[in-house]
Amino acid sequence: MTSKSFKAQFELNRSADELFPLFSAEGETLWVPGWDYIAVSAGKELHEDYVFLTENHDYATTNAIWLVKKHEPDNYFVQFYKVEPEDKIAVVSVKCEVVSKSRTQVTVGYEYIALSDKGRDFISDHSDEDYVAFIGEWKILLEMYFEDKD
């Protein structure tokens, strides 16, 4: 198997205007424990073609190169390429949809594309349940972030 796609959703009692900026290189430093990045592009403001680097969470010895494919803040949509050289590529999509003035549904999609045996092994071993748990952690971490803010 050389590619596999996943999608999961969750809702939070926050406005899309509050949530959407948190799905950026800088925004994730606020709610993801241990998240850090190195900007390759100038500044911290996310835009299409913005490039940054992170230490990969899947394999601690591999760095990931992130490129912003689409950035549509008016539509609360962002899409990244996450390139793990000699391993896999992920196309990561995040869409915030207004449920009400103070409630937002977040949809997160990952499409993994293998570049090597290691990437193919990850894809074949990564289940729907693994993905749902992974995105479920996003919801928990965001709720904790907002609890601390309130």
List the CATH number of the domain containing 101.
Answer: 3.30.530.20
Could you read off the pLDDT of 95-111 as tens digits, one per residue? 999 999 999 999 999 99
Q: How many domains, the chain?
A: 1
pLDDT at residue 148, rounded to an integer: 83
Amino acid at 117: D
- Residues, the chain: 150
Residue 41 is part of which domain span? 3-149
**Can you point out the beta strands (E) in the chain?**
3-12, 38-39, 51-55, 63-72, 77-84, 88-100, 103-114
Angle at 84 between CA 128 and CA 126, to 5 degrees: 15
Instruction: Look up the pTM and report it.
Output: 0.92
Could you read off the pLDDT of 27-75 as tens digits, one per residue? 999 999 989 999 999 999 999 999 999 975 554 446 899 999 999 999 9
97-100 long-range contacts, CB within 8 A, separation 24+: 97/16, 98/15, 98/16, 99/11
Q: How many CA atoms lie within 13 A of 130 on its CB side?
A: 11
